[in-house]
Amino acid sequence: MRTGINTEIALTYLLSRKKQTGVAALGVTFGISMYIFMNSLIAGTNDYFEKVTLSTTPHVRLYSDNKMSNASLLQTYLQDGTIKIISNPKLTASDNRIKDPFKLIHSLKTDREVMALSAQVSSNVIYTYSGVDRNGTVYGVNILEQDKMFDITSTLLTGKTDDLQNTPDGIIIGAGLASDLNVTKGNYITLTASNGMAKRLRVVGIFKTTIKAIDNTKTYVNVPVAEQLLKKDRSYITEIYINIKDYTQAPQFARKAEQLTGYQAEDWQGANEQSVAARKIRDVIANSVVVTILIVAGFGIYNILNMTIYEKIKEIAILKATGFAGTHVISIFIRQAMFIGLIGSFMGLALGWTLALLVSKLYIGMGNVSYLPMAFKIPHYIQGFVFGVITTFFAGYIPAVKASKVDPVQIIRG
């Protein structure tokens, strides 16, 4: 039996019931379009929040933390066969410095995975201007390296990153803090550390990330200024920020860095577990909705083919009586389902893309979000098309098997 005949019969059945065929195709179209739209929306939202997170958080943060006291000192002092035990151990106080930081930085820069790296010193301080005090955190950094990692330039409302690099007593402050203190570029503010050390610095820039917790407390100064505030030497470094080429591999790189350096390493996912969890929840919700829609569309195709079989039962019996085998009948109805699936999938891809494009032009105008974030990723379209075709295949397979088992003798006699 030639394959072409099966296709012609399938098309004949489809065209003889144009309304039902159209309804079935529209069901697939709606399912696929919602799949594309929801994935574009969720992916765009996820990409936006991920970008915001990585604009202030390094892929990996290497730091030295206070350690729990142990029996190693006793073991060194009392070198005998006894077992040393410390009751109620406490944290061992330290200045949390990274030892020989410049050698460590040079070693890290030789790693092929490392894309950018920045050493820094951070400290809690009190900002003072015209008798007004505010608490916050000052970060001593190489501003050009930080700019390479976090694109600070794009957040600056006034000033340039080079201004801080070229001004030893300069400071770049957050917009919220500038508003609270009522300072502008060129004003001098006083920073006081917990040890009582104070520095008077000139505002050379104001940045705005739209994240209040950062804009209201964070400032950037040159590393030597932060070291002077803490009364430390020029080799005092508390943290090393690392950005790698593939940020999704940050957990693996962090574990490797811990083993190589002996310091603690925190990846950006671990530092933002709530954001990562929220992303997974959004993905589950979107996929659940879309899968439900496609399953409903599949049941619609199943019902339509079932009705077709019921109405065409005599024609099917005649086909089998004239030499069509059960496999040929299955082929006919599978083709029907696949035609519906292909038409619906292509229409769904076009409609989904159109909806996503229109919604991407929806103006939000809050924070640094101008328009609703949407993502147009080719894998989503491929997945949607494949899922639509597979759904319609299985929706047509069961009725097709039922049709193949028709006994032509009983039908013709009946």
- Asked whether the predicted pLDDT for residue 3 surpasses 60, the reply is no
- Asked whether the predicted pLDDT for residue 76 surpasses 70, the reply is no
> Which pLDDT belongs to residue 364?
78
Task: Take residue 118 and report the two structure tokens written for it.
Answer: 């920045």
Average pLDDT, the chain: 82
Task: Take residue 262 and report the two structure tokens written for it.
Answer: 């002996």
How much is the average pLDDT of 295-312?
70
> pLDDT > 90: what percent of the chain?
29
Task: Take residue 181 and report the two structure tokens written for it.
Answer: 């203190």
Task: Take residue 24 and report the two structure tokens written for it.
Answer: 């079935």
> Which pLDDT belongs to residue 227?
92
- Asked whether the predicted pLDDT for residue 314 surpasses 60, the reply is yes
How much is the average pLDDT of 275-295?
79
- Asked whether the predicted pLDDT for residue 1 surpasses 50, the reply is no
Task: Take residue 387 and report the two structure tokens written for it.
Answer: 């899922």
Dihedral sign for Cα 56, 273, 279, 217, please.
Answer: negative
3-state secondary structure 37-88: HHHHHHHHHHHHHHHHHHCCCCCEEEECCCEECCCHHHHHHCCCCCCCCCCC
Confidence of residue 226 (pLDDT cuts 50, 70, 90): very high
> Which pLDDT belongs to residue 133?
92
Compute the 3-state secondary structure of the chain and give helix, strand, coil in percent, each to the nearest 5.
Answer: 55, 20, 25
> pLDDT > 70: what percent of the chain?
85
Strand ranges (DSSP E) for 280-374? 363-366, 369-371
Dihedral sign for Cα 272, 275, 280, 283, please.
Answer: negative
Compute the distance between CA of residue 197 and CA of residue 191 in angstroms, rounded to an integer. Answer: 8
Compute the distance between CA of residue 406 and CA of residue 412 in angstroms, rounded to an integer. Answer: 11
Angle subtended by helix axes 326-359 and 3-16, to nearest 10? 60
> Which pLDDT belongs to residue 29?
85
> Comparing 53-62, 230-239, 277-286, 313-322, which segment has the lowest mean pLDDT?
313-322
Of 30 and 323, which is predicted with more confidence?
Answer: 30
Compute the distance between CA of residue 265 and CA of residue 117 in angstroms, rounded to an integer. Answer: 14
Burial 208-244 (b: 16+ CB within 10 A, else e): bbebeebbbbbbbbbbebbbbbbebeeebbbbbbbbb
**First CA to last CA distance, the chain:** 27
Query: Three-state SS for 245?
Result: coil
Of 21 and 89, which is predicted with more confidence?
Answer: 21
> Which pLDDT belongs to residue 9?
73
- Asked whether the predicted pLDDT for residue 79 surpasses 70, the reply is no
Burial 60-81 (b: 16+ CB within 10 A, else e): bbbbbeeeeeeeeeeeeeeeee
- Asked whether the predicted pLDDT for residue 166 surpasses 70, the reply is yes
Compute the distance between CA of residue 217 and CA of residue 127 in angstroms, rounded to an integer. Answer: 9
How much is the average pLDDT of 350-370?
84
pLDDT in tens, 94-134: 567 888 888 888 888 888 899 888 889 988 999 999 889 99
> Which pLDDT belongs to residue 355?
92
> Comparing 25-29, 185-189, 201-205, 349-353, which segment has the lowest mean pLDDT?
25-29
Contact 147, 243 (CB under 8 A): no
> Which pLDDT belongs to residue 308?
65
How much is the average pLDDT of 127-150?
92
Range ranked top by mean pLDDT from 52-66, 119-133, 357-371: 119-133
Confidence of residue 177 (pLDDT cuts 50, 70, 90): very high
- Asked whether the predicted pLDDT for residue 247 surpasses 50, the reply is yes
Please name every residue paired with 129 in a beta bridge, in sequence order, or none if there are none. 132
Confidence of residue 289 (pLDDT cuts 50, 70, 90): confident
pLDDT in tens, 334-344: 887 888 888 88
Confidence of residue 169 (pLDDT cuts 50, 70, 90): very high
